[in-house]
Amino acid sequence: QSALTQPASVSGSPGQSITISCTGTSSDVGGYNYVSWYQQHPGKAPKLMIYDVSNRPSGVSNRFSGSKSGNTASLTISGLQAEDEADYYCSSYTSSSTLVFGTGTKVTVL
Amino acid sequence: QVQLVQSGAEVKKPGSSVKVSCKASGGTFSSYTISWVRQAPGQGLEWMGRIIPILGIANYAQKFQGRVTITADKSTSTAYMELSSLRSEDTAVYYCAREGYWFDPWGQGTLVTVSS
């Protein structure tokens, strides 16, 4: 199972919106509404930000939103803040009943 | 509120095995799935496998088949991940996480260093 493809880096100024893409295949992202997104700060465990494509867990800011079109899922961060600077990973359920992560995206707040 | 607490850092020789534990509190341990995810230094996340304690069934990513064993002890609400035939490339932080097509919460991570 190959890793899902994410851009290596995305940057934006405070207050702007950015979008991170996550591209897979019809055997993972495109085949199931089980895409999730994680935020990871240096030296910390990942934190769930979005599950089932577009649902936010309790306590996660509504500045984070998720969507999917075909084999590509997206995470949008609106009103970018300094604290959003971190690595972001997508994950998807697969047709093999396994899970696969994306390659990861480093978000920089300029 | 489910919390997962992992065992401490390990240093192992190439060719040996390591067993990392993940103790759960809160919730009903048998009713949820525990996955293991690793992250090599400066690298991304990699799913290794899962166990469903109530069924005692584990399945693994193809990459780790034959080298990883995930078990669970319902009496102590603890899951274990054992990785054998260690090599330098296995140096990583190993995380456990409750899985439900997503991962939440996560354990704090266990650093395993493989070095001669």
pLDDT digits (tens, 9 = 90+) for B92-104: 999 999 999 999 9
Q: Which of A52, A99, A104 is nearest residue B47 as measured by Cβ atoms?
A: A99
A76: Cα separation from own chain's centroid = 8
Cβ atoms of B86 and B17 within 8 Å: the answer is yes
Q: What are phi and psi of A77, to 5 degrees?
A: -115, 115
pLDDT at A109: 97
Q: In terms of Cα–Cα distance, which of A19, A20, A18, A32 is closest to A71?
A: A32
Tens-place pLDDT, residues A27-67:
999 999 999 999 999 999 999 999 999 999 999 999 999 99
The helix/strand/coil state of B42 is coil
- Residue A1 clears pLDDT 80, i.e. is over it: no
Inter-chain residue contact A51 with B45, CB threshold 8 Å:
no
Note which residues in 46-65 of chain A have CB less than 8 A from chain B.
46-48, 51-52, 57
Q: Residues of chain B with pLDDT > 90: what percent?
A: 90
pLDDT at A65: 98
pLDDT > 90? residue A103: yes
Q: B83 pLDDT band (50/70/90 cuts)? A: very high
Q: What DSSP letter does each residue of A63-109 carry, written as one string?
A: TEEEEEETTEEEEEE-S--GGG-EEEEEEEE-TTS-EEEB--EEEEE
* pLDDT tens digits along B29-42: 888 899 999 999 99
CA distance A50 to A33: 12
Nearest to B102 among A1, A51, A98 (CB): A51
Nearest chain B residue to A3 by CA: give it. Answer: B46
Out of A6-15, A72-81, B2-11, B49-58, pick the least confident: B49-58
Q: Is pLDDT larger for residue A1 or for residue B114?
A: B114
Nearest to A98 among B47, B108, B109 (CB): B47
Contact A98 B35 (CB under 8 A): no
Give chain A positions within 8 Å (CB) of B102. 34, 36, 48, 51-52, 91
